[in-house]
Amino acid sequence: MDEHDLIYSKHCQSVMSDGITVKLEIYSSGDSDWILEVVDEENNSTVWDNPFSTDDEAYQEFQRTLAEDGIESMIGLDQSDCGGDEPTAA
Mean pLDDT of the chain: 85
Which pTM value belongs to this model?
Answer: 0.79
Confidence of residue 4 (pLDDT cuts 50, 70, 90): low
Q: Residue 90: count other Cβ atoms within 10 Å of its Cβ.
A: 11
Q: Is the pLDDT of residue 5 over 50?
A: yes
Q: Is the pLDDT of residue 82 over 90?
A: no
What integer is the mean pLDDT of 11-28? 96
Domain locations along the chain: 3-89
pLDDT at position 10 = 98
Q: What is the pLDDT of residues 36-66, one digit of tens each?
A: 999 999 999 999 999 999 999 999 999 999 9
